[in-house]
Structure 1
């Protein structure tokens, strides 16, 4: 990967879309694709696709397009990495349960949901889609025992900061934050915020200006 160029956040957000496209293309037996075909499938203009790929060197050839197997291997090795990420869902209520039932393997076969945590006695001890819900008091021990380095946070906002501090102390390196709180953590941990209310407002704005 070319580390000399700073990759824009907008490009980083599109990378999972590209990965899924090439994964589906491989499953369909497609050998190579053009930027136009990627553009039509993902509704991203061809110039943007070529610019996104340019951050990682020469991934395709003019007049030939992109080799599906080569690009899929590239995404797996240089973007996803060879390491399998062990993930925990913190909060197994409505949203947490929905995420546990989601087939994450369809979008990322290097992500392994190893546990879920909650402090609701009616949920603790249950199994959701083959994942056991443990009490929140066990987070630190299980993070160490199972090598958990990513957490998906679906807790009430008022307890999210305290939990983020516990997760950081337990060695978690990345948090996907579904709460509306902006978490205060050190530079050694990456937080990606997903605020559904903001996303909906953005959707309404774009619909209004179509």
Structure 2
């Protein structure tokens, strides 16, 4: 009965998650710099962050945030500040030597909790995700759809997001891919940092549509 609605939700989500943004940037950075383990935990954090948006969308809190300029701006500046922090850290990071990729990966790895937190906070504080899920749960999903079915949609979105970024982590942690990025030296870190800071600036300048 709800298959067509689910397929629509899945398609819209696929188009959104495949579009490069802060989530993609941090997963790629963790995967290249620290390996698949850190990248995968970051990806799981991103997927778990989706549940935050799902919960407040189901509760209707997202509607309140979208209608309150003060709350939206507070949320927006917190997210922008976090992206600035990640971006400046990337700009300061040391390049990974190609000859030391294999040996440096374990020592360079961060704890699963920290990697998870990076992904979770990056996604959870993204006000663009707030507006996306608000639109999804008010426009695409029929308000008469049972709450349990909507919650199942949300669980799927979280799992699909986590799996997608785990795939991204796997790809960018491959030795050949990492070696290619490592050969770029400081440039990879600088470009990644510039992208994150640019996303932060764009986010800070955004307004409620």
Confirm or deny a common fold (TM above 0.5). no
User: Rg larger in 1 or in 2?
Assistant: 1
TM value normalised by structure 1? 0.29
Which structure's residues are more often strand, by fraction? Answer: 1
